[in-house]
Every structure is written in structure tokens, then in C-alpha cells.
Structure 1
Amino acid sequence: MPDIVAPGPHAIIPGQDFVPVVLGGDRLGYSLARSFHMAYGYRTLIVSRMVAGPIAHSTLVEHRPIASLEDPELLVRTLRDLAPKVGSDKRLLLATTDHVVSVLARVKHQLEDLYVIPYSEPELIDRLTRKENFADLCRELDIPHPQTVVYDVSDHGSDSAAQQLEGLTFPVIAKPSNAEAYAGVDFTGKQKVHSASSRQELDDLLTRLQGSGYTDKFILQDVIPGDDQNMRVLTCYVSKQGEVKFACFGRVLLEEHAPDTRGFPAAIMTGVDHEAVAAATRLLEHVGWRGWANFDMKYDPRTGETVFFELNPRLGGTSFYITAAGHNVVEWYVNEWVKGRSLEGRPVVETMDEHVFSAVPIRLLKRYVTDPATKQKLNGLIKAGEVTNPWFYGAEKHPKRWQWIAMNQVNYVRKYRRYYPEPKALV
């Protein structure tokens, strides 16, 4: 049983040995809250702009509003004001998006007297989350990575920029190098990741992008053949000593296809890829990473390799796939950063068991899993009860919470019917 502490006179969450404080009320925010509740029976304080669907009517969270998580001065002021009211002098501070992680890392020296903040230094985060730097690092360490062109959007329309595009083979994937700068602009057809099937289509995208005020780099990459079922995800935990101590590999069964969430994994089957884990370990230990890191990857049927796309400086939005498989992600944070238990000398844990994480209805998922071997394995895991939906949690008691969950599942069916009616491979 956890230690119980006496509550302050106006504690937001009294009676806990520590309080998780999460910046972001999105799907990862809820996943973290559920993981803390599963591991310790603890509730989580969510700080976000509004109470959005993922955390609405949840008994697992308390909420406090903030006008913007991206404003460094406001963030520091809000968190310093909240600290004495939280309910414990141990406060674990986490963020749910790359942008907010970067902001938090840059101001953590102003908050570390009040919060435990388990992130790498801001310079390292900024370096590795810029996709051209990640590509260079993969080349240096001989890690499979797609052919990449780093395109300066501010130079779009010039002769030198046009020459950069001459050698491209279409289709290509196009995505921002600077996620923070990209989050601050808007334009018609904006997506997390774009694809262009022709030079004209790419030119149109880059023109709209330039017109939005985005002046940083955009990454243009070779398309790896195959549909969602070739996507892979890998999540690793690195100790304070700089050693990878945990790795969980997953095969994506289905991604989301609505414009605002395109590319997010909707269903993941845990599995094993020792070569991918070895490559990720080599990279993370080489740069001196700390805490969690999440890699987006894809299996290339032309070479048989798992190709690395990018690194996210945090747990992924669908990282509950790890907790669902029996390895609660927050225990790594708590044991090392809150309880001060050293991981030095402990063996590396690499998940081996197969389990299915699915945010969408199983009937919908089965429609899109077309690979015969994968379908057979999926059906076997369903029969064995090895399936978890991150939203279905018995500790939630509020009727309106379950109404939201029901509508969430119905809306998934509607979205796939509209945006991805049939399985379709990238070629």
C-alpha cells in the first residue's frame, strides 16, 4: 500500500504520497491518468486549456485550466501557483505533446524546486526532434532511414529550391521538421503528415505552406510500400545513467485516417524485433537520452528492414499499448524519479508477450487487417481475451463518461466510412 500523507487545508488531490501533474487533456493525458490509477490507485491533476472528451467526466482526474500550455511565462507562473495547492510535496510533472515537452524542458530550471521533471535537456530534445538531424544521426549510426530531402520552405519558388525537387521519385511523404513552428500555422488541407503523388501536388502543398507563414524546413521522404499493417512503433525507457532499461515493440494494425489525426495508431499488436531495439538502444545511448522515447517506423518489404522515421521525446499518444501488455509505463518514472530507486545494474526488459491495443471497435479493426498471418494471430488473441481498449475502464462510474465512450466508438465507424472505406496500400 502507498504511504498516505495528511492533506493540506485546500488540497486539490489530498491523501496521496505523490501527485501526477499532466500538461494536456488529450488521449495521452487520459492514458497516463489511467496508468497511475491502475498502478497506485492515485488520481491525476490535468492542466489544459479545456476539459476535452478524453478526460471529460473522468473520476480519475482533477482539472485546472490554463489559457496556453505553449506560453513559457504563463506555464511557469501557473505551475508555481498550483504547487502548494496540489496535495503532496512530491509532484511528478509530465507533458503529452512534443511542443509542450520542448517548452517544459526549456523552463524546467524554474520549476525543479517544486516538481520532478523527467525529461532530457532542451538542446538534445530540439536536436533530435528536428527530422533532418534525426536523419543525419541515423546515417552516422547505420540505422535504416528513408531517402530524405530537407526542403527550406522560405526558399520555395526559387531556382535552387526547384533543383532540390528535381531528383524526387513520387509519391513522397511530406512533414514538418519543426513541430513547434508547424503547430503555430494554419492553412487549407493542413494535416499532421502529407503525401504528394506528383510534383504539381507537392508544389501546391509547399505554396500553401509558405503562404501560412511557416518558414522552417519541411521533410520530403521516399514512400515505403505497404499499408498501415507495415507501420511499427517502438518505445524505450532510458535510465538516469543513460542506459536503455526497457523496450516495447509493436506492429501497427490500423492507423487513423481523419485529416486531423491521420497517422496516429488506432490499433497495435505487441511483438518482438530485436534488431530494431538494438538500433534504438545504440542511438539513445549514443546521444545521452534520458526518460521515455518513442520511435515511428515502418517495415520495408523491399529490403526486409525496419526503417526509422522519427523520434518523439515522450511517450506516444497510444502508449497505453505498453501498459495494456502488462508493463505499466508510469512505474518507470515513479520508481526512478519519485522514489529514487537506481536502475543501475538492472537487466534490460524487452517485452515478448503478444497483446492487442485497440482504440476502435474490434469488428471495425478486423475489417482492415488483411494480411492472412496477422489476421489469424489477431483472431487468436481476441479469443484469448488479449485485447484492451484504452477507453474501457471499470473504475469510471459517471454515466456521461460512458456516453462519451459510446459516441467515440460510433464516431470511429463514421470516420473510417468517410475517410478510409477500404484498406489501401501506399505504393
Structure 2
Amino acid sequence: MSAPASAPARRLQPVVLGGDIGAYSLARAFHEAYGVRPVVVSSVATGLVRHSRILEHVAEPRIDEADALVARLRAIADRHADADLIAVGSADWLVRALVENRDRLEDRYTIPYVPRDLLVRLTDKEEFGRLCAELGIAHPTTVVHDVAAGGEPDTSGLTFPVIAKAASTAAYHDVEFPGKKKVFTVGSRPELLELLGRVRDAGYTGTFVIQDFIPGDDSGMRILTCYSDAQGKVRFASFGHVLLEEHAPGALGNPAGIITGVQHEVVEQARRLLEHVGWTGYANFDLKYDPRDGRYVFFELNPRLGRSNFYITGAGANAVRFYVHEHLRGLDPEPRAVLGADVPLTADGELAAEHLYTVLPGPLLLRYVLDPGLRARTRGLLLRRRATNPLWYRHEWDPRRVAYLVVAQLNHYRKYARFYPVSAARALAWTGR
């Protein structure tokens, strides 16, 4: 007697919120791993998703309004009733929107993020600093200022220049004012007070963190991404040495070039923090190497795969596979089972491949890598074709998209010349010596 026929497997349908390079990178990762065509939802069709053949773009002009977003996502689910749907966000505020509306969505979607209380706690830079202090993890000297309360912050324990940024990036997303940046480098106390006044007048009611400026140029920055299973155990980690960040105001501080590598010390500190709070899913950390004492300093936690998430996938460890393996298939996310036998991993799940991620033309990137040894490594990876730009994908051959990307790549030369000339990079590099 033959065995009864099993029910056919349901297809996978990812839905990605956002229209930036992080959203496109997530869509590409799903396409590479599973051959699916993700739906990408953003307020407008940006050049990064326009004319793409690997995704379907859906415009939702009111994406920042909860009811409109939920209605749009449920309408998409109705069109894909035969699929297992997963919704992911490319920015903190989009992840927060999914989490805050989980009860209206998870009958149709898998939402692979932590509960709201944990998300709010760990993504608030003030709370994150307290946790680092509690666990003995290096964190910049920080002053927290209540913007709505007014007054003047006590900066007597800091030396200018300092770094200033909103404690909650999700709340900061909702305000606009001239000169708005993700992160400000502030040269004097009068300049700081003027900035805080502008932020308050724009309607931001949260707190601002004012931090010690760690010397050195962009190449002092590091990035770490960890995946924790449903029991809160860290199973996978990918460390990267940032070569250069973006410097145009709207993208300031985002990595433009990363070399992957192994750094057990940093991974173990992140593991201690994440397992202490019971984090699940992805966490992305920004760090910087402090040449004054040789420590790696943790700045913040992002509750998602970061904007530069393709630094992991490009190195051979397709990051979205963990989502599907555990959250949709219900399997144990053992890294070798998730990623395959050919991906180089340490015994504790740390990605061991050396690979270059870049969103810039190679010659422009090399112009800003001032350390001779690091420049030689970067050039070697470019020459050996162990480098990936997430926007250039062999399945994307629409001539209108190719033309856009060529122009966008050339525009990077103009933007860096305007916002971050090489002389400025050399001056910062000198401070780290």
C-alpha cells in the first residue's frame, strides 16, 4: 500500500519594507537564496528598486502611518494567499512599525523580531549605554540631554569635539529641520547648544546623547552582526572592518566599504550582552577601535540586518537563510545546516571568510584607505575579484537600471569631493595616531 501523498510545500513570499540600498540588498539575498521575487514596499520608487527584474515594487505614500501600512500589507497578503509570508524592514522605524502592529499582521505574516519592550530598550542609546556599563562592555563616555525639557547639558566631563545623536532613531525619523544628520560631530559648546535648540524647535521630544569623540578616521569603525535563536542563544556572527563610511548628509555614517574577518573578543562581548537580555533574531552593532587604549567601543545596537547587510551575503553566508530556516521551517538554525558545507565558519559560528563589500567604485574607495597595509588588502581583494557591490547583480539587465547605476557610481566622486575631501580624511587619520 502506497504512502498517502503529502501536501505540496507552500512557496515563500518575502515582503521588504524600505527603498534604500539595505532594502534592495535584502530583496537580492532572498532572490539569490530561493529564486523568489520579493515585494518591496516604500513611499516612492527609488532608483535602487526602479526597473528591477528581481522584485516587485509597491508604493505606499503613507508608509509612516500605521493603519495605511497595515492595510497595504494585508492587501499584499491577499494577493499571495498561497504563500508563506515574511515581512522585514530595512530601517529601525520600519522594524518598529512591524513590531508595534504585530497583532494585526502575524495571522498572515511571520514577523522575525523581538517583542516591543525589548526592542525599545535596546535601541535606545541611553539604555544601551547603561547595559554596557552593567556588563563591563566598553562604551563612550556619554551625557544624556532631555531635549524637550530644555536647559543645557553638563559637558564638563567631555572634551570637544564631541559626537551628538538622537537616542531613538525611530522617533528622530519623524522630525525634519535644516541640516538634519544621523550623527553630528560638534566642535564647541556654543555649536552644541545651537544644534539642540534646532532639534527642539523641530519637535523632537526625546533625548540626545552627547559622547566622547574617539580619534581616527572611518577605518577605525567596525561592524558586527549576530543571529540568536528562539531560545536567545547566539548561533552566528559576522564581523567586519569598515574602510570608509558615507558622508552625504542623508546617509552619513553608513559603511561604504567593509572587509569581513574574525574578531573573537568582540563577538564574545556581543554574545554576553545578547544572551543576558534574551535577544532573538538579528542584532547589528556599530563599534570603533580606540587607539588610545586598544579597546573596541560599542556604540549602539540595531534590531535588524543593517543597511550594509550584504557584507555578510557577499562573503558567502546568505543572511536571510536564518530567517527562513528557523522562523518559517521551524528547524534548528545550526549555522552549517543553514549555510552549507562550503562556508568557512569557526567552531562557534563566526564567519571566517575575507571578502570586500563596497558600494563605491574601487578606485574611489582606495583613494580613502590611507593605511598602507589595509590599502594593500583592499586592492588585493579587488584584483582577485573577492569583492561585491550589492547593486550590481547578474540578473539585473534592464538598460534603464544599468544607466542609473552607472550615473550613481560616478556621482559618488562628486559627493565625496563635496562632503568629505581626501584632506579631511587625512586630518582625521592623523588624530588616531
Matched, 1:335 2:316: no
1:425 aligned residue: 428
Give the match's secondary structure for 2:110: coil
String of CA shifts for 1:305-344, please: whole Å, max 9, x gaps.
1100000001110110000001001111111111111237
Aligned-pair CA distance for 1:16: 7.4
Structure 2 residues without counterparts, runs of 5 or longer: 1-6, 337-346
1:172 aligned residue: 162
Give the match's secondary structure for 2:11: coil
| Mapped contact 2:171–2:206 kept (Cα < 8 A) | yes
CA distance in 2, matches of 1:308, 1:166: 22
User: Which residue identity does 1:37 align to in structure 2?
Assistant: H
CA distance in 1, matches of 2:78, 2:175: 36
User: Which residue identity does 1:418 align to in structure 2?
Assistant: R
String of CA shifts for 1:5-58, please: whole Å, max 9, x gaps.
99xxxxxxxx97110011112111110111111111111111111111111100
User: Which residue identity does 2:121 align to in structure 1?
Assistant: R
1:416 aligned residue: 416
1:67 aligned residue: 61
The percent identity for this pair of structures is 48
User: Which residue identity does 1:254 align to in structure 2?
Assistant: L
CA RMSD of aligned residues (A): 1.7
Give the match's secondary structure for 2:101: helix
CA distance in 2, matches of 1:243, 1:296: 20
User: Which residue identity does 1:381 align to in structure 2?
Assistant: L
1:11 aligned residue: none
Matched, 1:149 2:143: yes
- Aligned match for 1:93, one of 84, 87, 106: 87
Q: How does 1:18-417 map to 2 (within 5 A)?
A: 18-86=12-80, 88-156=82-150, 158=151, 161-162=152-153, 164-343=154-333, 348-417=348-417
| Mapped contact 1:19–1:87 kept (Cα < 8 A) | no
Please identify runs of 4+ aligned residues in structure 1 that moved more than 6 A.
344-347
| Mapped contact 1:16–1:87 kept (Cα < 8 A) | no
CA distance in 2, matches of 1:167, 1:243: 37
Aligned-pair CA distance for 1:87: 5.6
CA distance in 2, matches of 1:299, 1:278: 16
CA distance in 1, matches of 2:157, 2:233: 40
| Mapped contact 1:369–1:375 kept (Cα < 8 A) | yes
CA distance in 2, matches of 1:68, 1:125: 23
CA distance in 2, matches of 1:290, 1:224: 30
CA distance in 1, matches of 2:81, 2:377: 46
CA distance in 1, matches of 2:21, 2:319: 15
Under a length normalisation based on structure 2, what TM-score does the superposition of the two structures give? 0.92
| Mapped contact 2:235–2:335 kept (Cα < 8 A) | no
Under a length normalisation based on structure 1, what TM-score does the superposition of the two structures give? 0.93
1:12 aligned residue: none
Structure 1 residues without counterparts, runs of 5 or longer: 7-14
Give the match's secondary structure for 2:75: helix
| Mapped contact 2:335–2:349 kept (Cα < 8 A) | no
CA distance in 2, matches of 1:16, 1:45: 17
Give the match's secondary structure for 2:249: coil
